[in-house]
Amino acid sequence: MRRAVKWTGGSLVGLAVLLTAVIAFAHTRPGRPVLRLLSRVYWPKGAGCPFGYDKIATPAQRTAAQLRFARTHAGAALAKARPALGFTFDVTRRSDVLAWAKANHVACSPGANGNDLGCTQVPGALIPIGAQALSAGALWFDFGRDGALISLVAVRRAPTAAQISAAFAAFTSSESRATGSAAFATTGNGSAAWLSGGLLRQASAEFRARDYYALARATHMTHDYLLTETYRSLAPAPDAPALSLR
Amino acid sequence: MARHTKLILFASLAAVWVAGCSGGDSGSSSSSSSGSSTGSGSTGGETTGSGSTGGGATGSGSTGSGSTGGELGPGAAFKCDSSGKDAWDTYGVTAFVAVNESIFSHVTSEISANGSTNVGDSFSLIGTSGHDDLPAFKGNLAAFLVYAYGGPSSITYTDGVTYTGPQDMVAIHTGMHITSDQYDYFVANVVVPALTDNGVPTGDITSCFAPVVTDAAFKASIVGH
């Protein structure tokens, strides 16, 4: 009896030591792959970080999200145009974007990084904004239940405040024309002088139409300036124009 | 003799484990480590835990509890233009709770607009098996923010539970492959709006909030793992 207790106790201690050793190793730099593996085994959908970026919604979920968003963000009038960096809402399909990417030597990953389709290092010249060709950036596409484009986000950069300010001005001018109205809401100041005044200084402009939404934020980051643009279809256009791709 | 050997081995391994989990891994670039290029200000001074001395904070709902350690977060080294004090001492508990809630509000808004686009859908896992429930999730994020900006290393949040601020950001984000663009998108579209929505002036965002989230070492602890 005493021997069995000893044996059991010894085994438990040994197991604890082994587990401790594995977990300790997993938290060292060489052991990161082990930690990653453990995370996948025990937290298959990601461990703890609220901003995971690694999950992908279904087209039906995206369409549902589109409708939810439209309920709270739609404007009163239909947009005169629905600019989306040369792509066409409710017409452009994933295969169109992939063909465009291939023709322009742009790397896109279907389903990567939490987006339906993400393209990286997109040359600024391919997606000009006004007269500005900003540094290469990322494009994140989402397609709805019918497979057509419903949302596009662009993240791109410029080395100077003057460039980002001009790009921001081009965005507001273009969107004013497209929606036929002034910005629904603005924050900050888009001038180069103001943006360059300190880290995380930011200007934003939001435009709303009944069938279209656009938002841009120009932000002073550490070594450069960031322009994030969001373009959304809020409802399929009744007479959507023909496919238009660069 | 054998028993002593086992005990020593166990204690040694346990110590390594604890060091690794608490950001002691020199390669982790964890926000809780003092290796950040922001200058963490980890001088070993005791935090008092009270914190809410400015900004009209009255401590509604959430209180800063006694610190459990002497280490100060990286934000303690940066003083706000408006006060000459760090962000925690300037804004206090009420503002930190408000900003924390606002971050959740902006993320929820993102999810409402995009499903999981841009911010992932880990929020949808809250309350599911193996994941924090919403109050715990908020409490952990609040504790991290409070600690990172000069407050105590643990807080008691609105749910009455005590949460620890220093967290191993590398371990938390390992396997998520967050890109630089996604991180910057999050800062520009969630963090800055959460601060401005709660009345933090531009000068203070620049002087005492921006240095932490734009710090290269902090960003490196989240991006690319």
**What is the average per-residue pLDDT within A187-195?**
96
Confidence of residue B30 (pLDDT cuts 50, 70, 90): very low
- CB < 8 Å from A in window 164-203 of B: 168, 170-179, 181-182, 184-189, 192-193, 196, 202-203
The ipTM (two decimal places) reads 0.74
**What is the average per-residue pLDDT within A83-104?**
94
Q: Is the pLDDT of residue A238 over 60?
A: no
Give the residue with greater pLDDT, B200 vs B105.
B200
**What local confidence, expressed as pLDDT, does residue A30 receive?**
52
Give the residue with greater pLDDT, A53 vs B174.
B174
3-state secondary structure of A43: coil
Q: Within its chain, how far is the Cα of B118 from the centroid? A: 21
Query: How many residues are listed for chain B in this entry?
Result: 225
Confidence of residue B109 (pLDDT cuts 50, 70, 90): confident
Facing A69 at nearest CB: one of B14, B112, B184: B112
Confidence of residue A106 (pLDDT cuts 50, 70, 90): very high
Q: Is the pLDDT of residue B172 over 50?
A: yes
DSSP state letter for B45: P
Q: CB atoms < 10 A from the CB of A15, how many? A: 10
Confidence of residue A56 (pLDDT cuts 50, 70, 90): low
**What local confidence, expressed as pLDDT, does residue A19 receive?**
64
Query: Tens digit of pLDDT for each residue in A133-169?
Result: 788 789 999 888 888 999 999 999 999 999 999 999 9
Q: Within its chain, how far is the Cα of B52 from the centroid? A: 17
Q: Which residues of chain B does A114 touch, with a Cβ-Cβ cutoff of 8 Å? A: 116-121, 182
Q: Is the pLDDT of residue A202 over 50?
A: yes
Q: Is the pLDDT of residue B165 over 50?
A: yes
Give the CA radius of gyration of chain A.
24
Q: Is the pLDDT of residue A236 over 70?
A: no
- Name the nearest CA neighbour of B187 among A199, A124, A133: A199
Taking the Cβ of residue B117 and every Cβ of chain A, the question of whether any pair is shorter than 8 Å is answered with yes
Facing A201 at nearest CB: one of B182, B206, B216: B206
B115–A187 CB contact, under 8 Å: no
Chain B CA closest to residue A119: B181
Give the residue with greater pLDDT, B7 vs B110.
B110
Determine contact, residues B209/B87, Cβ cutoff 8 Å: yes
What sections of A59-180 are H helices per DSSP? Answer: 59-73, 94-103, 161-179
How far apart CA B122 and CA B173 sit, in angstroms, is 12
Q: β-strand A149-158 against A225-233: which pairing, if any?
A: antiparallel
Q: Average the pLDDT over each of A102-106, A211-215, B10-14, B136-140 and give the range with the smallest value.
A: B10-14
B181–A137 CB contact, under 8 Å: yes
How far apart CA B111 and CA B95 sit, in angstroms, is 24
- The interaxial angle of helices A2-26 and B2-21, nearest 10 deg, is 30
